[in-house]
């Protein structure tokens, strides 16, 4: 699910995706929390708690920014496709 804007946020699409998969992973190119917390809030206010939800938020962990080329910074902050794929796989394996 690609959420390209937060206002207005597509609550129906988010809730449908979570209902279908029971897995949620948010990815943000800045400090973890902003985007992920907004999405988690949508779910907390609207989800029926009949099944567990596995949740992970990928982004820059609690640290200061650095200067560099974008491709270098994705490595430094763990935002490469490979890193994200590992996090998704780890979360998916917990579902089994």
Give a yes or no: residue 2 inside a domain. Answer: no
Give a yes or no: residue 1 inside a domain. Answer: no
Give a yes or no: residue 41 inside a domain. Answer: yes
Give a yes or no: residue 5 inside a domain. Answer: no
Domain count, the chain: 1
Give a yes or no: residue 86 inside a domain. Answer: yes
Give a yes or no: residue 4 inside a domain. Answer: no
CA distance 70 to 75: 9
**Residue 41 φ then ψ, to 5°:** -65, -40
pLDDT digits (tens, 9 = 90+) for 65-74: 789 998 999 9
pLDDT digits (tens, 9 = 90+) for 2-31: 888 888 999 999 999 998 888 999 999 888
Domain extent at residue 27: 11-95
Give a yes or no: residue 73 inside a domain. Answer: yes
CA angle (72 as vertex; 58, 30 as ends), nearest 5 = 35
CATH code for the domain in which residue 83 is found: 3.40.50.920
């Amino acid at each position: 699910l690609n959420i390209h804007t937060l206002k207005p946020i597509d609550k129906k699409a988010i809730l449908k995706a979570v209902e279908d998969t029971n897995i949620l992973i948010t990815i943000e190119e800045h400090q973890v929390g902003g985007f992920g917390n907004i999405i988690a809030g949508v779910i907390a206010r609207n989800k029926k708690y009949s099944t567990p939800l596995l949740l992970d938020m990928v982004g820059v962990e609690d640290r200061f920014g650095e200067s560099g080329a974008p491709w270098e910074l994705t490595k430094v902050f763990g935002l490469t496709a490979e890193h994200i794929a590992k996090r998704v796989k780890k979360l998916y394996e917990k579902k089994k």
